[in-house]
Amino acid sequence: MINYTVDSDGIATLEWDLPGRSQNVLNEQTMAAFGEAAQKALADASVKGILVASAKADFIAGGDLDMLLKATDAQAMSDNLKLWHKLFRTLETTGKPVAAALNGTTLGGGLELALACHYRVASDNPKARFGFPEVTLGLLPGAGGTQRAPRLMGIQPALLFLTEGKRIKAAEAQKQGLIHAVVPAGKEREAARAWLLEAAAKGGKTLQPWDQKGFRIPGGSVMTPGGMQTFMAGNAMLREKTQGNYPAPKHILSCVFEGMQTDIDTGLAIETRYFVNLVKSPEAKNMIRSLFFFMQEANKLARRPPDVPQQKYSKIGMLGAGMMGAGIAHAAATAGIEVVLLDTSREAAEKGKAYSARLLEKRVAKSQLSQDGAAAILARIQSSADYKDFAGCELVVEAVFEDRALKADVTRKTEAVIGADAIFASNTSTLPITGLAEASSRPANFIGLHFFSPADRMPLVEIILGRQTSPATLARAMDFVRAIGKTPIVVNDARGFYTSRVFGTYLSEGMALLQEGVAPALIDNAGRIAGMPVGPLALADEVSIELVHKIAKQTRADLGGKYIERAADQVAALMVDKLGRLGKKSGHGFYEYPADAKKHLWAGLAERFPVKAEQPSLDAVVERLILIQSIETVRCLEEGVLTSPADADVGAILGWGYPPFRGGPIGQIHTMGLPNFIAACDRLAEQCGERFRPTEGLRKKTAEGSQFFPI
């Protein structure tokens, strides 16, 4: 794990090289091996300096998340961290100079190890990033990051760096004081070695700034006016941003606040307590499981059919140049794929292309892209009104209005031009793919690709299989999704598929609460406090109450006597048909949208939906808004719409902003425990209706003592 060598000048190189892994990570085994090598170098009188480096393309990616996900013993975690801190402090205080040669990305525990070295030199590698991303997984840096970073950067910059989880380039890391030098790629070891020889030649003990007499925290300490203002403002901003649902950023503030008022060894002990508390928390377990392991599984196309050659895309077609079509075209062109953007007229197609032009101008203005780079991306988009231009496209994505007849017409016109093996994909959000494929002369090549708006930014694509969609078409569609940098989940055909169906329950429950006489402000505040990006009534306005109403009417027409009337249907019908309040797009919905002021709840709601004198508690409203999504997700799994709980959680978090700290709709059940979830749903079914009733499959799962996830 650690390659140990000593050269003729007495420089010991400790080179990280974890077998069987593409990246180095910190865990009990690697740290034990590194500790043994470090002690060997420190004890060898002939060793004048120690160089820490990596044999892999990157330095160290951070801590072993599999180890952290499985960790439950607080004392064992605490004991291990104390050993790590002791090792790092030994490197810092024994006196021999220690330098880190950072050849590539250095994150989390890797950066913490580097900060424990007296000198840090990074390669000018454009792909390399430096940072503490732990907060994005519900954790904090546990190997000294919350104590060393503020002592190098200053309190305010360090807090921003630690709580936002940003990954910065080498030049910025040097500017912030985390790195001493940036050198041409391949020269980092040479530069680190030169510093070690110079430091050794000076004689005396090499120490970190905080171990030297008279050390002061850059920018001032906690108890200065600036320091106190930073923490007061930071606490307020943090509460507003997280609603208290994410303990990690709060714990980071506490680590820095407490640790900067004492010596570094005490600060490290403080950090250890907060870190262990987080590792054991359900929020961290949920976020590690869903945001790392499940996301990694999805991005690696774990559900891609095997034995299908990978599809490389050079040219695709985009049917419809509205906001959705323009966004998809932009994502494809940015990924280096030629796009034929087609609409009913050349002028309409040009408007779609202009959407990309505006996005690219913004990137150029921010120095994120060169003018030539922007021009090259834009040149890949060909605006057209002629179906003949689809010739040679490997894939055509349809994003026209949600009208079956229109979709059937464009399907036939497209298939008359494209090659026999080309894929036709519909971006429909609710219409069953099998039904749409009836217009196709090759249903095996017909598939659903449900993008989310704005398609250029939203990371999820829901891939929907029709009954006749071939495995090869699925594999090739997944290749396209990965090619444009999106994350796919795979679902089977059904009304509303997965994301639209479960997302709709959040809106519907909010409207049901409104009809029952719950105060609209309580409903929407509960949604935000629950962790959702927007309250259900505000979100209904955003997606359009009219659309909610249209979908309900279409579903009722399709299902006939099987359709089950919902409170949301009555609320939406009243708002749209009788009151003409269509949502944000019309300027009038549950909210008013004045041109010269902030939006506010429509005063007329009180007349149409009188508020009862006795209101439910905040927790009761949160429970309904969250659990309705979980029980509907379970139905999707049991009906075979979803093929895995992992896809359910990834799809919810990326698709409609389900709160990551809950892990996803299935992660929420796992956190509560099946018996508790079933009991809560049975209670809600009696109080609110059968939509909350647990399935027999859930009861069977509980009786068998099984659960959705092993950890």
| Tens-digit pLDDT profile for residues 560-589 | 888 888 888 999 999 999 999 999 989 999
* C-beta of residue 69 within 8 angstroms of C-beta of residue 285: yes
**Residues of the chain scoring pLDDT < 70:** none
Q: Which residues pair with 491 in a beta bridge?
A: 464, 642
pLDDT of the residue at 282:
95
Those residues with Cβ within 8 angstroms of residue 404's Cβ, 6 or more apart along the chain or in another chain:
431, 435, 436
* C-beta of residue 654 within 8 angstroms of C-beta of residue 491: no
What are the tens digits of pLDDT across the range 5-19? 999 999 999 999 999
For strand 119-123 and strand 98-102, is the pairing parallel, antiparallel, or unpaired?
A: parallel
Question: CA-CA distance, 80 to 69, in Å (whole number)?
Answer: 16
Q: Which two tokens stand for residue 293?
A: 């392991």
The average confidence (pLDDT) of the chain is: 94
Question: CA-CA distance, 120 to 114, in Å (whole number)?
Answer: 7
Instruction: Tell me the DSSP string of 613-656.
Output: SSPPPHHHHHHHHHHHHHHHHHHHHHTTSBS-HHHHHHHHHHHH
pLDDT of the residue at 554:
79
Question: CA-CA distance, 619 to 149, in Å (whole number)?
Answer: 38
Instruction: Match 């659903």 to its residue by tokens.
Output: 448
pTM as predicted: 0.91
> Could you say which of 450, 549, 588, 670 is catalytic?
450
Cis-peptide into 645, omega within 30 deg: no
Please give the backbone phi and psi of residue 124, each rounded to the nearest 5 degrees, phi first. -80, 65
In angstroms, the Cα distances linking 364 to 357, 368, 593, 676 are: 10, 6, 32, 52
Q: Is 307 left (phi over 0), alpha (psi -120 to 50) or beta?
A: left
CA dihedral sign of residues 412, 417, 421, 426: negative
Question: CA-CA distance, 396 to 440, in Å (whole number)?
Answer: 13
Q: Which two tokens stand for residue 198?
A: 């110079």
Residue 229: how many other CB atoms lie within 10 Å: 11
* Residue 251 annotated to the active site: no
Those residues with Cβ within 8 angstroms of residue 4's Cβ, 6 or more apart along the chain or in another chain:
12, 13, 14, 15, 37, 40, 41
Q: Is 687 helix (H, G, I), strand (E, B) or coil?
A: helix
**Structural domains of the chain sorted by starting position, each given as residue range(s) with its CATH number in brackets:** 2-280 (3.90.226.10), 315-492 (3.40.50.720), 500-640+644-703 (1.10.1040.50)
Residue 266: how many other CB atoms lie within 10 Å: 13
Burial of 371 (0-12, 13-18, 19+ CB in 10 A): exposed
pLDDT of the residue at 598:
93
